[in-house]
Amino acid sequence: MEEINANIVSSADGMLFGALGSCSLCSGSVYYFGGRYKCHGYVSAWSKCAYSTTEPTRLKEKWKVPEDSDNEYLCKWFKSQKAKKPDRILPPSSSRSSNVVDGKSQLTKSESLQELKVAIVGMSNESLEEWKSKIGAAGGVFHMKMKKETYCLVVNGNPEEHDSEIRRARRMKISVVREEYLVDCINKKRRLPTDQYKIEVASETSRSGMVTVKVKGRSAVHEQSGLQDSGHILEDGKSIFNTTLNMSDLSTGINSYYILQIIQEDRGGDCYVFRKWGRVGNEKIGGNKLEMMSKSDAIREFKRLFLDKTGNSWEAWEQKRNFQKQPGRFFPLDIDYGVNKLEPRKNELGDVKSQFAPRLIELMKMLFNVETYRAAMMEFEINMSEMPLGKLSKSNIQKGFEALTEIQNLLSNIVYEPSVKESLIVDASNRFFTVIPSIHPHVIRDENDFKSKVKMLEALQDIEIASRLVGFDSENDESLDEKYKKLCCDVAPLPHDSTDYQMVKKFLLNTHAPTHKDWTLEVEDVFALERDGEFDKYAPYRDNLKNKMLLWHGSRLTNFVGILSQGLRIAPPEAPSTGYMFGKGVYFADLVSKSAQYCYTDKKDAVGLLLLSEVALGEMYELKKAKYMESPPEGKHSTKGLGQKTPNALEFEKWRDEITVPCGSPVSSGVRATELMYNEYIVYNTAQVKMQFLLKVASLQSQLMQVKAQLACKLAGSQATNSQWVRDTSHQCYHVPIESQWMNNTSDNAQPCHPYIHPPHGLMPSMMQPNECSHQKMRSDDHYIFEESMSPKSSVDDVDHDGDDSPSLHHKAWFNRDHDHTLQPCSRKSFQCNDLGELQALALRMMRS
């Protein structure tokens, strides 16, 4: 009935106002619906066309009536109709912009922001107030708590921390979305569909994210078939009857997968066709089916289903010839199960005792820890149900880079009309999320999002290398020694008392950048590196180029198997150029904390890896701002971005006589009008790099301590300023960043009065003088702090407000400064670099409980 009514409406529109022309985007058919003219077609094989307008193109010709029609009225009307038709004037509510794409269409009452009723969790009070005013100003309604009429719950931060609120929202049938949903609603001035922004709680998706892969032959049986232990994927000649299909279309909200396998029993030869389908990242949507049949019937059914889902024959995909993505159909993913790998020797290597030193064993455990790679995949929101850990092939990653390159070109394009540009960006985003399956696909329309996807693909490249080298299969029983050999890189622990170890440690301690105050670095271990073939590759540049330096390079832990086995690499040609300040090259720094930022450690996993490499810089092309280039100008061998801060050249040292170690403390560079805070060094040829040292480094966050005041008379000086102290009124103590304090413990036995002694490094409080007696300035309510810093593995559980005998505590009174400097509590805003609020709140909750 709806189709008949639509035909009547379209016919009436054409008879009165003229036949509609083709869509200006995709040349598809245009039809009238809901007060606008919309396109039926596809802008490409990957996306439905989202073209929509109130002023369509009309054909300048008479409306035609079928020649065999015997309808007298139509025949009479056809002869009398005028060639020139009047323009159709739509009601004002529908007459917005003439060309609108993907949701920029007419606003119904239910779509307006007046119907946007929102509850929010996971935000600070400041952010909450800010959003409350924004939502109100836009015409929406903010709910402090979820109500029956709440439209959606916006979750900021880690969804797992708000599991109870999310479950309640689900029970109330309220959509749970990311903060991005609010941003887009307000920007587009309407209530958008929530499909593209929905959050899946990790506990719900983890079952799909922890797929066990058991490779038999050249592929792996899906665990939900129930035949993982007793069956294998059917192989017939070169054919491997296993495929994973994916389809992501942001304009329609589709984000689906379809897994198709023929599984043959290990014994007996019976065959089963297994299929599993659903929405990416949500195991509650979809299903699976297992059918037993003969081998020939199974192959026939497999090929039929593949043709039905993709619009292409199975042979076209196998041969990689004449396969073309079809509109509205699935696209097969390349999954690399490591078919060229030798079968692992089960029960032979797993329990073999390693021959390596304990320090090297610990490093290898870090490098080959499957959970580290799994966590990275989950951080990137890669769907691990259809894309098992590390099995994403090079070709998929390459296609992802190609889609991002197209998005980059579109973002900078000023020729296309906004509607056309938006539709093409949606199309490229669809291609990206089809070949890189994600739990939360979305339109990649801003530069920061775009850059994060580039970094994600770079990390996936290294995960793919790690998978290929050492394997993440459940039945891979190789020992650490076997995996180490596949790195083809000699890794040797340095003696802690060696000259090289002390040099590296000094370099790290001296070159922490002044703006990176919220964390410090601590050397846990240092290893010398010798990658196979790198010495010979580097030799011509070592011998012919002057200006060789030891420089820092930081990267994710998951990248280091790729780095150690293949060296530092330059982004591939298909990768977009945006995101590389001075072009595609290998980037280094002379300040350690500049590079350490790219290790992406956190409180839970505080230990990362850093590289120190010998870099043949030669003549440097010096720049003060970003400039993209494929290589430096003729006569130059590298690029240097000049920063405002630089290591003090007076403290530089030489290593092996000719290699400069820029281990000076940071000072002002004196360079004017530069856009860079710190120096950057870039080489465009990997042969100019020789990896020398690998550092295992702990990132110490600025932990804050608190101790209840006690009656004692011991002096503590501090270089902290008032703005760095926060009063804890509940426990009568102050919270102070550890890095900003120093202590002076004059005696283990409290005496009525202690003379002041110079603190370490010559630091002195401005109001105290040497040998000045401070006893008269002390009061019984003076406050105390911890003297010793926390390790990354300790927690606020170690903080004791009441302890008197703890050996880790040195209760020391803060001298009273009322006579010249009143100590005032400061706001949380003063702690932009410290986790003060979080730690303080946690400590208070613990004490009250």
Q: Does residue 271 contact residue 293 with C-beta atoms inside 8 Å?
A: yes
Cα–Cα distance list, 228 to 131, 195, 264, 301 (Å): 50, 34, 10, 21
396 in a structural domain = yes
What does the pLDDT read at residue 4? 54
Coil, strand or helix at 462: helix
Residues 6+ apart with CB under 8 A from 80: none
Could you tell me what percent of the chain has a pLDDT over 90? 33
Do 672 and 553 belong to one domain?
yes
Q: Is the pLDDT reported for residue 340 higher than 80?
A: no
What does the pLDDT read at residue 487? 93
Token pair belonging to 371: 């959970």
Confidence band, pLDDT 50/70/90 cuts, at residue 792: very low
Please indicate whether residue 749 or residue 609 has the higher confidence score (pLDDT): 609
What mean pLDDT do residues 19-29 have?
85
606 in a structural domain = yes
- Chain segment 235-256, per-residue pLDDT in tens: 988 889 999 999 988 877 788 8
479 in a structural domain = no
Do 319 and 453 belong to one domain?
yes
CA distance 516 to 498: 29
Amino acid at 164: S
Give the least confident one: 101-115, 139-153, 727-741.
727-741
CA distance 121 to 126: 13
Q: Is the pLDDT reported for residue 843 higher than 80?
A: no
Cα–Cα distance list, 255 to 97, 433, 442 (Å): 29, 9, 10
Do 239 and 332 belong to one domain?
yes
What does the pLDDT read at residue 583? 93
CATH number of the domain residue 586 falls in: 3.90.228.10
What does the pLDDT read at residue 391? 64
Token pair belonging to 628: 């993209």
Last residue of a domain, one of 659, 686, 701: 701
Do 443 and 499 belong to one domain?
no
- Chain segment 594-605, per-residue pLDDT in tens: 999 999 887 777
Please indicate whether residue 504 or residue 108 has the higher confidence score (pLDDT): 504
What does the pLDDT read at residue 633? 95
What mean pLDDT do residues 534-553 have?
96
- The tally of CA atoms less than 13 A away on the side-chain side of residue 161 is 7
Which of 33, 80, 81 shows the shortest CA–CA distance to 53?
33
Q: What is the DSSP string of 628-681?
A: --SSPPTT--EEEEPEEEEE-GGG-EEETTTEEE--PPEEE----S-SEEE-EE
Residues 6+ apart with CB under 8 A from 821: 722, 767
CA distance 403 to 418: 19
CA distance 807 to 791: 16
Give the least confident one: 355-364, 646-655, 668-677, 832-841.
832-841
Do 524 and 539 belong to one domain?
yes
Do 300 and 424 belong to one domain?
yes
Q: Is the pLDDT reported for residue 332 higher than 70?
A: yes
Please indicate whether residue 120 or residue 736 has the higher confidence score (pLDDT): 120
Do 502 and 409 belong to one domain?
no
Q: Is residue 116 classed exposed, middle or buried when 0-12, 13-18 and 19+ CB atoms within 10 A define those classes?
A: buried
pTM over 0.85: no
Last residue of a domain, one of 651, 674, 701: 701
Confidence band, pLDDT 50/70/90 cuts, at residue 271: very high
483 in a structural domain = no
Which range scores top for mean pLDDT: 103-112, 352-361, 457-466, 589-598?
589-598
What does the pLDDT read at residue 555? 93
CATH number of the domain residue 46 falls in: 2.20.25.630
- Chain segment 390-416, per-residue pLDDT in tens: 566 788 889 999 999 999 999 888 778
Confidence band, pLDDT 50/70/90 cuts, at residue 723: very low
Q: Is the pLDDT reported for residue 817 higher than 80?
A: no
Beta bridge partners, 392, equal 335
Provide the number of structural domains found in the chain. 5
- Chain segment 800-811, per-residue pLDDT in tens: 444 433 333 232
- The pair phi, psi for residue 176, each rounded to 5°, is -110, 120
Do 301 and 423 belong to one domain?
yes
Give the least confident one: 68-72, 492-496, 679-683.
68-72
Confidence band, pLDDT 50/70/90 cuts, at residue 92: low
Residues 6+ apart with CB under 8 A from 54: 35, 36, 37, 90, 94, 95, 96, 97, 98
What mean pLDDT do residues 274-284 have?
82
- Chain segment 195-249, per-residue pLDDT in tens: 767 776 544 444 444 455 566 777 788 888 888 888 999 998 888 999 999 998 8
DSSP letter, residue 588: E
Could you tell me what percent of the chain has a pLDDT over 70? 72
CATH number of the domain residue 162 falls in: 3.40.50.10190
Q: Is the pLDDT reported for residue 786 higher than 80?
A: no
CA distance 741 to 732: 19
Tell me the residue ranges of DSSP E strands in 296-349: 331-333
CA distance 188 to 732: 50
What does the pLDDT read at residue 158? 65
Please indicate whether residue 160 or residue 722 has the higher confidence score (pLDDT): 160
CA distance 595 to 295: 56
Domain that holds residue 681: 492-701
Pairing relation of β-strands 620-623 and 638-641? parallel
200 in a structural domain = no
Coil, strand or helix at 623: strand
Amino acid at 686: T
Give the least confident one: 351-355, 389-393, 539-543, 761-765.
761-765
- Chain segment 764-776, per-residue pLDDT in tens: 333 333 333 333 3
676 in a structural domain = yes
What does the pLDDT read at residue 181? 85
CATH number of the domain residue 244 falls in: 1.20.142.10
Helix axes 418-435, 394-411, angle to 10 degrees: 170
Catalytic residues: 680
What mean pLDDT do residues 259-286 have?
86
Do 83 and 118 belong to one domain?
no
What mean pLDDT do residues 505-524 have?
91
CA distance 257 to 468: 24
Tell me the residue ranges of DSSP E strands in 294-402: 331-333
Q: Does residue 763 contact residue 720 with C-beta atoms inside 8 Å?
A: no
Residue recorded with tokens 């009857």 = 241
Last residue of a domain, one of 163, 189, 215: 189
What does the pLDDT read at residue 734? 44
Residue recorded with tokens 């979809």 = 286
484 in a structural domain = no
Do 693 and 717 belong to one domain?
no
What does the pLDDT read at residue 43? 86
Confidence band, pLDDT 50/70/90 cuts, at residue 709: very low
Q: Is the dihedral of CA 767, 751, 757, 783 positive or negative?
A: negative
CA distance 718 to 734: 13
Confidence band, pLDDT 50/70/90 cuts, at residue 699: confident
Q: What is the DSSP string of 520-549?
A: EEEEEEEEEEEETTHHHHHHHHHHH---EE
Do 615 and 554 belong to one domain?
yes
Residue recorded with tokens 């005028």 = 82
199 in a structural domain = no
What does the pLDDT read at residue 353? 65
Amino acid at 298: A
Do 582 and 628 belong to one domain?
yes
What does the pLDDT read at residue 213? 58
CA distance 26 to 550: 55
Residue recorded with tokens 């993505």 = 325
